[in-house]
Amino acid sequence: MAPHRKSRPPSGMGIRTPALATAALTSVALLSQTANASPSEEPKPSMEEVQKKVDDLYQQAGTATEKYNAAKEKTTKQRKRVDTLLDDVAKRTEKLNDAREELGGFAAAQYRTGAAAPDTASLLLADNPQDYFDQSQLMDRLTSRQKEAVDDYGTQQAATARKRQEASESLQTLTTTQSTLKTSKADVQRKLAEARDLLSRLTAEERARLAAIEREKQEEALRKADELARRQAADEEERRRQAATQSTGTSTATATPGTDTSYDAKAAKALAFARAQIGKPYVWGASGPGSYDCSGLTQAAWKAAGVTLPRTTWDQVNAGTTVSVNDARPGDLVFFFDDISHVGVYVGDGMMVHAPKPGAYVREESIYYMPVHSVVRPA
């Protein structure tokens, strides 16, 4: 008979209680879910954050627009300069050809009178025709009129060469400014596309919330405008009181101290023009008459008053006298943001007329709708 084999007791590793088995299965399930789960999505931004992002994009687009305006203005001026230089070169070249023909006639005449045979090719290619005539022993045979023609030819030749070089350098500059213009235009379009894309992904509820945030922002800006209006009214009353005190016993003052009636007249015309544009669309790079960007509107407004302003906000801010916000008067230019990328025409009582941003229209609004940089009196 085969020997009886005792069964071996199972080892401790083989023992599984129901609780342990359940825990093991749960762990495997969790690990499996973790491995198969997609990466966690970033938390959705709040509507306040969306509003800030949109505002930032519009500001960046405004800055890019001013860069575009500067490049466009420079390109236009450079193109005119190139055209002028090329016209000048063409006229000088024509005169040079006439002078060359005249010199060729002088050389032929000298040859007919017995002088050494002229090397016409050398004459026409000579850097200095006078040197050529000296070397060919013709100079002493020329009349005074002929000598003047030789000198004139040399002068014309040198001047034409300089103008050609100047035209070549101007063309290179034009190419650079055109490249900058193209880059600035693409930058504006990219920022605006990003803002449109962000807004297009909002739900109707989110759009309503965004509109509510905008209203709150407008109300706060109007509150600050009212505060400024009260301060300005108090300051004006104090100036009148002081003027009345100073005029006691003397002739009555004809104007309030600190005012300039000539400026007020121009400012009234500029402000009237700006208000007449209310309702026209903002279009970046536009300066009227059907649409405007911010600096295009202020430039056109003051042009209506007979004052020429530069095209960009960065140049307009230096085109007058800086005053405090409390001293702002109708017609003054109000600039915004640290990079001075926006401007409006001050109306009074803390309000302005400006071309706000893409998708909006020229409108009257509190100057506190955006952070004020400075106030400038342009005339």
For 130-144, b/e burial (b = at least 16 CB within 10 A) is: eebbeebebbeebee
Q: What is the DSSP string of 234-270?
A: HHHHHHHHHHHHHTTTSPPPSS-TT--HHHHHHHHHH
Backbone phi and psi for residue 361, each to the nearest 5 degrees, phi listed first: -125, 160
Separation of alpha carbons 205 and 50, rounded Å: 13
Picking from 321, 349, 355, the residue whose alpha carbon sits closest to that of residue 336 is 355
pLDDT of residue 311: 96
Q: What share of the chain is helix, strand, coil (3-state, %, to 5)?
A: 65, 10, 30
- Identify the residue whose tokens are 């009257």: 364
Of 43, 359, 48, the closest CA to residue 206 belongs to 48
Instruction: Name the residue type at position 104.
Output: G
Q: What is the longest distance spanned by two Cα atoms in the chain?
A: 152
What's the pLDDT at 44?
A: 80
> DSSP code of 361?
B
Tell me whether residue 164 is exposed, middle or buried, using C-beta atoms within 10 angstroms of its C-beta: 0 to 12, 13 to 18, 19 or more: middle
Catalytic residues: 294, 342, 354
pLDDT confidence of residue 261: 83
Tell me the torsion sign for CA atoms 106, 111, 115, 117. Answer: positive
Q: What is the mean pLDDT of each run of 10 residues along the chain (379 residues)?
A: 45 44 46 50 82 94 95 91 87 78 66 51 51 52 63 77 87 91 94 94 93 94 96 91 76 50 94 98 96 98 97 97 96 97 97 96 97 95
Tokens 């300066």 sit at which residue?
A: 287
- The confidence score (pLDDT) of residue 372 equals 97
Phi, psi at 16, each rounded to 5°: -130, 115
What radius of gyration, in Å, describes the C-alpha atoms of the chain? 40
- CA 263 vs. chain centroid, Å, equals 28
Structure-derived torsion over alpha carbons of residues 266, 268, 269, 270, reported in degrees to the nearest 10:
90
The DSSP result for 348-360, as a single string, is: ETTEEEE--STT-
| pTM (2 d.p.) | 0.72
